[in-house]
Structure 1
Amino acid sequence: MPRTHSYELTVTWTGAGAGGTVNYRDYGRDHQIDADGPPPLLGSADPTFRGDSQRWNPEQLLLTALAQCHMLSYLSLCARGRVVVTAYTDEAVGTMTESGDGGGAFTEVVLRPRVTVATPEMAERAAELHERAHRLCFIASSVNFPVRHEPVIVVADAPTAAPTGRTAG
């Protein structure tokens, strides 16, 4: 039987100032995100939309969720598949296109994980596991735009590394 999980948080707008939303230019986009356990997360709009560049915006958080979910799914598969990962970074990029009515949507996300494995024998399997991790990622399974992967697998203490060229999604 499938399990169901529920997540709760509170988003509180802190940008009302004295006048609230009297007009588009003058209200603050700042807000705070709270959940039981982690510290508060300070958010705002993207600076393009009059937000604070020193705070997280929803677009960054969506990209973060995709990159985190892929990484966590991938590391789990590696641990279960006896692929020893010793380092992992991802320089993810998301593309959002505005529509004429003031809305918009993400059109693509590219995850660029750079994975270091312990031995050369693990490199091929490490590259292959990205496709399965993509299929298992809860967040990637929930979005309606492509999430591509451009992984690079590096062997610990190896002099050079080459991209695997594999993509998923």
Structure 2
Amino acid sequence: MARLHTYPTTVTWTGNRGTGTSGYRDYARDHDLTADGPAAIAGSSDPAFRGDPARWNPEQLLVGSLSQCHMLWYLHLCAEAGVVITAYADHAVGTMAETSGGGHFTEVVLRPQVTVESPDMVDAATRLHTDAHKACFIASSVNFPVRHEPAVTAS
């Protein structure tokens, strides 16, 4: 039987400027995302949709979740394989197509830049990105391609 995990979160709208949603331009898209334990994340909508650019939007959070999940699996698999990672940074980009009445992501590209301890680890470190992609819970749950274009170098 599969083990089930739940992830309760709370989104609280904080954008009432005094008149609620009396008009499309009369309210802020600001909100807080909270869960038991971590600090709140200040959210809004994409600035293209009247959001606050100083706050996280749902599209950024989705791309960030994919990047985090890949990295965490990758580090785990490298540790198991004896590949010593000394630095990791991912510059991920998600692409969304706006359609009438909504939109959808068309792809996310992960671009991890990885440094390994020695040159003999580069090939294995590169290959393990494929395994991390297959293991990532979030990537397995979306209906658009998640590609990875890793760059691995030795320190």
Partner of 2:40: 40
Q: Is there any run of 5+ residues in structure 2 with no aligned partner, and where?
A: none
Partner of 1:124: 123
Letter in 2 for 1:117: V
Q: Does 1:112 align with 2:101?
A: no
Deviation at 1:26, TM superposition (A): 1.4
Deviation readout 1:94-137 (Å, 9 max, x if unpaired): 00000122x00000000000000001111000000000000000
Partner of 2:27: 27
Deviation readout 1:145-168 (Å, 9 max, x if unpaired): 000010000101xxxxxxxxxxxx
Partner of 2:139: 140
Matches of 2:36 and 2:59 in 1, distance apart?
A: 23
Matches of 2:3 and 2:18 in 1, distance apart?
A: 46
Q: Is there any run of 5+ residues in structure 1 with no aligned partner, and where?
A: 157-169
Partner of 2:10: 10
TM score, norm. by length of structure 2: 0.98
Alpha carbons 2:112, 2:151 under 8 Å: kept: yes
Deviation at 1:2, TM superposition (A): 1.9
- Number of residues of Structure 1 aligned to a counterpart in Structure 2: 155
Alpha carbons 2:90, 2:113 under 8 Å: kept: yes
- Percent identity reads 63
Deviation readout 1:28-59 (Å, 9 max, x if unpaired): 10000111111111000000000000000000
Partner of 2:62: 62
Three-state SS of the structure 2 residue aligned to 1:148 is strand
Letter in 1 for 2:124: R
TM score, norm. by length of structure 1: 0.90
Letter in 1 for 2:34: D
Three-state SS of the structure 2 residue aligned to 1:87 is strand
Matches of 1:99 and 1:138 in 2, distance apart?
A: 27
Q: What aligned pairs does 1:143-154 form with structure 2 within 5 A after superposition?
A: 143-154=142-153
**Displacement over 3 Å in runs of 4+:** none
Matches of 1:3 and 1:117 in 2, distance apart?
A: 34
Partner of 1:75: 75
Deviation at 1:90, TM superposition (A): 0.4
Of structures 1 and 2, the one scoring higher in RCO (CA 8 A, sep 6+) is: 2
Q: Does 1:95 align with 2:108?
A: no
